[in-house]
Amino acid sequence: MSFSSLLLQQTINGLSLGAMYALLALGFTLIYGILELINFAHFNVFMMGSFLALWVLQGFGLTGQTVILTGLPLIGVLLAALLVTMLGTGVLGVAIERITLRPLRGITGPAAMITTIGVSYVLFNVILLLTSAQTLNFPNPLPQLQWQVHGATVTLPELLIWLVAPLLMAGLWAFVQKSRLGKAMRATAQDPEAARMMGVEVDKVIMTAFFLGSALAGAGGMIFGLYYNFTSFLIGFTAGLRAFTAAVLGGIGNVPGAMVGGFAIGLIEAYSGQFIATEWSDVVIFSILVVVLVFRPAGLFGRLTPSKS
């Protein structure tokens, strides 16, 4: 393998990782932008997403690694699974907000953040007990297609990640920028009091943010399963922490920043594994984060604003 094809291969690896981190980072950023709340439950909403997708695919009779569907039926099943998963995790996110966070709204201090940690552990332990802590096989219904590009290999799941993740992100971007509810979200993020006085239904805006963020995390969970062909109760933590870092790196609260941050973290992880050592990846990722924050405290794309409280 020549150096340039090795570099290309690691770039492919890094971009696939990055797309997943970016999807997750968007959820952190959406909710932070509106509530100034770091939602740690997001880690395990992502994990729940992969299990929901697993159960839906199993419901369609897809188990193991054999290809039993092709063409349109396969696309149909995958789209149905994606929809159910996104809807399911979206509703889960809304429920988390409605049941555990709304009663705490207006209370200053870390109570809400600690609550999200608690919710995260509840989800984690429910799946741990349901699965007896086993790692489960995730069906791999995709045909085993791959292409050689300049000595590097691109697989079908990678292509799908690159297609689906940016589509979802673009959809979110368009929604926030163009739609009426999106405008209300931006208004609430800027000044919730003023937005409320102008007739924005703040509760509805917050619910929308939780729904969208959690639905994207669910999509991320399903993509994770299809890409790695396994899932377990543990997958939320590492991916969640990296995605959160991506959101901070890009400037938390900033939607394009979260996308760029996600891809940046994915690439850093791949390159540092190649050129330094795998066990140093986390050190490199978090060192870069610290350095960026020292020179740009609001992240790459964030703007420092006066505190809202």
CA gap 16, 162 in Å, rounded: 7
CA gap 276, 63 in Å, rounded: 38
| Contact between 46 and another protein per CB under 8 A | no
Contacts of 3 (CB under 8 A, 6+ apart): none
| Helix, strand or coil, per DSSP, at residue 230 | strand
Between residue 220 and residue 239, which ones bind another protein under the rule CB under 8 A?
224, 228-230, 233-235, 237-239
| Contact between 155 and another protein per CB under 8 A | yes
Handedness of CA 295, 300, 304, 308 (dihedral sign): negative
| Contact between 132 and another protein per CB under 8 A | yes
Classify the phi-psi angles of 229: left when phi > 0, otherwise alpha if psi is within -120 to 50, otherwise beta. Answer: left
The nearer residue to another protein, 175 or 228, going by C-beta atoms, is 228
Distances (CA, A) of 65 to 51, 88, 140, 232: 17, 25, 5, 17
CA gap 272, 190 in Å, rounded: 38
Task: Among 274, 284, 288, 293, indicate the residue that binds another protein (CB under 8 A).
Answer: 274
| Contact between 58 and another protein per CB under 8 A | no
Task: Among 128, 187, 284, 298, indicate the residue that binds another protein (CB under 8 A).
Answer: 128
C-beta of 272: minimal distance to another protein in Å? 8
C-beta of 155: minimal distance to another protein in Å? 7
- Choose the stretch contacting another protein; rule: CB under 8 A; options: 94-102, 105-113, 198-206, 271-279: 271-279
| Contact between 285 and another protein per CB under 8 A | no
| Contact between 51 and another protein per CB under 8 A | no
219: closest CA among 43, 116, 90, 34?
Answer: 90
CA 195 to chain centre: 28
Contact positions vs another protein (CB under 8 A):
1, 6, 9-10, 13-14, 16-17, 64-65, 125, 128-137, 153, 155, 224, 228-230, 233-235, 237-239, 269-270, 273-274, 277-279, 281-282
